[in-house]
Structure 1
Amino acid sequence: MKKILLLSDTHSFIDAQILKYVKLADEVWHVGDIGLIEVADSIKELKPFRAVYGNIDDKTVRAEYPLDAKFIVEGVSVWMTHIGGYPDKYNQRIREELKANPPKLFISGHSHILKVQYDQKLNLLHMNPGAAGKHGFHKVRTMLRFEIEKGDIKNLEVIELETRV
């Protein structure tokens, strides 16, 4: 079993609230717009870390992390990309490949809107953890936490860090 912390859109911001949840996870996944590479480095010092770069990430982050990450954890195929869209509205760049070879779990960020939705057409679970950083229009900083065990995704939790004014 793996306990996963999923975050996105930190935009160069990390604080004790985020790090508290990092310490409780087995792995941390970041779905882009990391910002400063030091944000990723501070997480990597504590836990195994997987990430993709987002549209605001500079050449340093892009040199370290891919545009798309595809991997298998505990029997669950995962595809992470920053700008992925949602069921019935997937980004044009990935749409055909996603239809041809859908993962069990598709994760994207970018929108700053937390959403978990099952795509019945492609038989996959879509997750967007919202935004954990302070930059953007979102009112509440959010992340997701879940477990993966023997091919199952379970115990999904929404983590609300704070309401922004």
Structure 2
Amino acid sequence: MFRIGLVSDTHDLLRPEVLAFLRGSDHIVHAGDICGPEVIAALAQLAPLTVVRGNNDRGDWAQDIPEAVTVQLAGVRLHVVHDLAELVLPGEAKVVVTGHSHRPRVEERDGVLYVNPGSAGPRRFKLPISAGELLVDGSAITPRLVTFL
């Protein structure tokens, strides 16, 4: 079993409970609005890391972060982009990971699994603080979202 930790919209806040949840991941994906290099450094200490730039990721530290990326993890091709409205779906992607809305959501459309882990950073309106994971076991992909606080 391969565990991919999913996080987005930390906005420069890494909560201890989110870090504890991500610990033990084989790989972590951050879907943007990181807002500081310290977040990347902390997550990279836990597992190999894939990140994309969100609309709030500005400055020299963020210049080399791609706006979208496709990676293959445990035999599954994931496409990561911060804002679903900016998605250009590569034909071979089986999973799309997004952020931006701060709303945790899992949905399957046309054979593609769409996962937004929600926001792990400062609370926005009455939306939950959340993160997620993908459990990959052969061809089976099981998404799970977790709400904190």
Same fold (TM over 0.5): yes
Q: Is 1:158 paired with 2:145? A: yes
Unaligned runs of 5+ in 2: none
> Given that residues 7 and 30 in structure 1 are in contact (C-alpha distance below 8 angstroms), is that contact kept between their aligned partners in structure 2?
yes
Contact 2:102 2:127 in 1 (8 A): no
Shift of 1:22: 2.1
Unaligned runs of 5+ in 1: 85-90
1:117 maps to amino acid: E
Identical pairs, percent = 27
Distance 1:44 1:140, change over 3 A: same
Tell me, yes or no, if the aligned pair for 1:131 and 1:138 is still in contact at 8 Å.
Answer: no
Tell me what 1:65 maps to.
65
Q: Deviations over 1:62-88 (max 9, x none)?
A: 22421111011122111000011xxxx
In terms of fraction of residues, the more helix-rich structure is 1
Task: Measure, in 2, the Cα distance between the counterparts of 1:64 and 1:15.
Answer: 25
Task: Name the aligned partner's letter for residue 158 of structure 1.
Answer: L
Indicate the SS of the match to 2:125.
Answer: coil
**1:19 corresponds to:** 19
Give, in whole Å, the separation in 2 of the partners of 1:69 and 1:131.
20
Paired residue for 1:137, among 114, 122, 125? 125
**Structure number with bigger Rg:** 1
Name segments (4+ residues, structure 1) moved above 3 Å. Answer: none
| Range with greater deviation from structure 2 (60-69 or 12-21) | 60-69
Instruction: Find the counterpart in structure 1 of residue 7 from structure 2.
Output: 7
TM-score normalised over the length of structure 1: 0.83
